[in-house]
Amino acid sequence: MNQNELKKRFNITQWSSVGINFWGVPKCANTSLKYALLKANNITVPFDPSGVYKRLHSPQYCYYISPDYALTNSLTNVTVIRHPYERVISLYTDFGQKRTQFFRESYTGISMSEFLNRIILCSDDTVNTNIHLRSISSFLVRDNVILPDIIYSIDSVPCLFKRFGLDTTYINQNTSADTTSGLTPTEKQCVYEHYCQDFIMFGFNR
């Protein structure tokens, strides 16, 4: 499996100088952590106004590995997760309000309900699904076992930065939403049903 395939399927990067494998989950501080890890390794990514964030994830700068390799290379396996309600709100804020052309069709002015029905609920955990839409479990769980050694909530990311001596610059950050607001009860039910395994595996409250 080549680097692009490893990135698309698993999104795990190896950072030997810091002593970790980072299991990246989109919309869970993934870009900020990669930026900090690149900086810790003195890797400068050229600025590109049309795709600066995408470049931070490029195999040209990050080394992608498989879960099996990550579990045997003696480095600490670290990840960040967030409540599925917050994650969906972040997805909507980014792709429904900011980068509305991201899915090759304009979603300018789309409501949260439409976003759920036309994008989220049409996604699955296959490798052909856009990586941003896949469940947290698709990245971190195998045979009902959570694979990373250390799991940080998105609110505890500053502790992760401090523990591993990383720069605390946040990249492509959407404001964290209160999980009790921002979604209607019907929308919450849709999110729960679609990402049910994430609620079960990581103990998120409904």
pLDDT of 180 > 50? The answer is no
201: left (phi > 0), else alpha (psi -120 to 50), else beta?
alpha
pLDDT tens, residue by residue, 56-108: 999 999 999 999 999 999 999 999 999 999 999 999 988 877 775 666 566 66
Q: How remote is the C-alpha of 145 from its chain's centroid?
A: 19
Q: If you average pLDDT over residues 24-50, what whole number do you get?
A: 90
**C-alpha span between 60 and 169 (Å, rounded):** 21
SS3 10: coil
CB–CB of 165/40 below 8 Å? yes
Q: What pTM was estimated for this model as a whole?
A: 0.91
CB–CB of 82/154 below 8 Å? yes
**C-alpha span between 145 and 97 (Å, rounded):** 35
SS3 153: strand
